[in-house]
Structure 1
């Protein structure tokens, strides 16, 4: 183990170097910078999640994604329902072998495995998250049904073999890939003929125009605040599914539903909007005072050497992320829930 490698899987220089992949001013971003992020996507993503994972867990729980809300619905109930909805749309059945691409610390995998009675393999290129996912899953008594492996989702066929899964899903994870054709193509390979792929994709809506400075700045802030090498258009995702050979069975931007409670409300930090008494604590964590406590505490932990150097700076980008996500939702220029259900054709 190198001096920079921590026993929990985190790598110090990845965290400390994360923000160096972006220019401060989005108008100064060059094609070379963009290509560097795409070529170094594993360092970009790992640097981000090495630093941000524990703050995600503190503020959000073990399912790192957004969801729709019913009026009065609790935060964690909405996350579970979002996962159940994907499993239902995919028509997952007991005994299926399912791949979770970009599984985080395993919250969705544990929930979907229990809900649909399927066997899930979670793949993640971040060793820190893989270790945590295994620990939480064993604690839940699901380690025989849900397993996790470290791997690059741009090389799924090499790791798992072609035609090896009945179904594959990805929840707000494939946005971290250097190209959608690349990641969707790998997913298509590991699916058995007739297998289903379900995804909630992060993308800029087709109302987004990079020639408009404010639109370009929004995409830049989403990238640096969320560890994404490049934000791309929803229409480009649709083309990518077709280009790699998938047949789209259903697609919908769920953020376009006329929900009374918007998907981004937990990031606004407005205690008046908390849907349940329990959620007051969660909403407080994204308020100005909650963020002050979190980030002051994190800086102290870093000064004491209890978290790797650079963790505080990475987590400062979460403030950027929160503001940009709310703005993206309010302007309808961004969605975290472009739902696509598609199928690998049967072999002729």
Structure 2
């Protein structure tokens, strides 16, 4: 089944998932944007611009202090306990340098090297930004389209429930979350379907956060998480009744290799669904602006490259899957996915100044400001890609392993 691919805001058939929740983007900038957005929702006055900016800067300052701060900072304490998935202060600059070196080549020249090293740098990326994502965006690191009258959180929940319905998740089933982050979608889907969900993430710190939140939610009997690469999963063949992947497959160096690994661990007849980050038919590889935008998206999100829709479908078939459905849920939304990033653009300037001066006075590690500049470019690139319709973070591909 295929939805109509008309990139002029043609609606995609919607799921009948029950009531709806969250998303995922870009470190310090995102803290500022979300904090400012909260203020703007509460106050529709001219003074809100200044207020939102101040709140955003305060939130960013607090997070930076907590992430890299002195002997009483929680990150330092966690590191002393042996949970090294998030970087200690002395490792922060080295992590930033390594990440920036990964993307030092431009105009596609670094793509081969990126593909080779991607898993290592995805781990570094999430060690650097998990706390910022979670504070500024929520526990579900992904985007979602919104209906009129629907809250941000409701749109996230609905987006997650839709993918659970696509794989026919239900009570008594064992479902795999490939690239689970801190487990926001896992908990939503377990509550929605009653299924047992096992998640896998490459990042040690995320394992600890997910385990903690599963217990807090009273879902630790349904939800489990393991650390490892989804390219080499520690599960027996034919062991899962279904699998989903929410905006995580984009990190795979070769998409077909990930799909083959998922194919291996699924039972015959089981379904796999993935929200993919893909360029749309409106993307023009000969258009310099389009190329720059997509390169900035890749750099700011630890991606080896950004694939096309035909490439994703070809990867699915190469892995042996049957294509059940594919379509772009970015089309036809009342409130487009990129809107969440537009709200507090003015506050981003103050965040930029803040990170620059914190680094200069030794309150932030060397490289923090340069990293913020990169993240700012990536956020702007995501906004612009949505405005132009050249990129989607929610191209749904539903596949089936033959009997």
Structures share fold, TM-score greater than 0.5:
yes
> How far apart, in 1, do the equivalents of 2:353 and 2:119 lie?
26
For the pair 1:163 / 2:238, whether they are aligned, the reply is yes
For the pair 1:64 / 2:121, whether they are aligned, the reply is no
**3-state DSSP of counterpart to 2:282:** coil
**3-state DSSP of counterpart to 1:202:** strand
**Selected match of 2:175 from 98, 102, 108:** 98
Give, in angstroms, the shift of residue 231 of structure 1.
1.0
State the partner residue of 1:194.
Answer: 269
Q: Deviations over 1:213-256 (max 9, x none)?
A: 22211111010111111111111001111111101111111112
**3-state DSSP of counterpart to 1:345:** coil
For the pair 1:245 / 2:320, whether they are aligned, the reply is yes
Q: Deviations over 1:1-26 (max 9, x none)?
A: xxxx94432242334311111237x3
> How far apart, in 1, do the equivalents of 2:264 and 2:355 lie?
45
**3-state DSSP of counterpart to 2:274:** strand
Give, in angstroms, the shift of residue 312 of structure 1.
5.5
Q: Deviations over 1:148-206 (max 9, x none)?
A: 111011112xx101101000100000000001101001000000001110110011113
Q: Structure 1: which 5+ runs fail to align?
A: 270-285
Aligned residues: 319
Q: Within 5 Å, which residues of 2 pair with 1:65-80? A: 65-80=142-157
Considering only CA atoms, is the larger Rg found in Structure 1 or Structure 2? 2
State the partner residue of 2:338.
Answer: 264
> How far apart, in 2, do the equivalents of 1:212 and 1:345 lie?
40
State the partner residue of 1:236.
Answer: 311
> How far apart, in 1, do the equivalents of 2:308 and 2:224 lie?
33
Q: Within 5 Å, which residues of 2 pair with 1:282-301? A: 286-289=344-347, 292-293=350-351, 296=354, 300=358
Q: Within 5 Å, which residues of 2 pair with 1:1-40? A: 6=79, 7-8=82-83, 9-11=85-87, 12=91, 13-23=94-104, 26-27=106-107, 29-30=108-109, 33-40=110-117
Q: Deviations over 1:254-298 (max 9, x none)?
A: 112x223111101012xxxxxxxxxxxxxxxx4322663488369
State the partner residue of 2:286.
Answer: 211
Q: Within 5 Å, which residues of 2 pair with 1:122-201? A: 122-156=199-233, 159-201=234-276
> How far apart, in 2, do the equivalents of 1:193 and 1:311 lie?
48
> How far apart, in 2, do the equivalents of 1:180 and 1:124 lie?
17
Contact 1:52 1:314 in 2 (8 A): no
Counterparts in 2 of 1:100 and 1:45: CA distance versus 1, 3 Å = same
The alignment yields a C-alpha RMSD, in angstroms, of 2.4
Q: Structure 2: which 5+ runs fail to align?
A: 1-77
**3-state DSSP of counterpart to 2:397:** strand
Give, in angstroms, the shift of residue 330 of structure 1.
1.1
> How far apart, in 1, do the equivalents of 2:267 and 2:149 lie?
41
> How far apart, in 2, do the equivalents of 1:222 and 1:54 lie?
20
Counterparts in 2 of 1:43 and 1:144: CA distance versus 1, 3 Å = same
Contact 2:355 2:368 in 1 (8 A): no
Contact 1:44 1:229 in 2 (8 A): no
Give, in angstroms, the shift of residue 318 of structure 1.
2.6
Contact 1:206 1:235 in 2 (8 A): no
**Selected match of 2:396 from 319, 339, 343:** 339
State the partner residue of 1:328.
Answer: 385
> How far apart, in 1, do the equivalents of 2:306 and 2:200 lie?
22
Give, in angstroms, the shift of residue 49 of structure 1.
1.2
TM-score (norm 1): 0.85
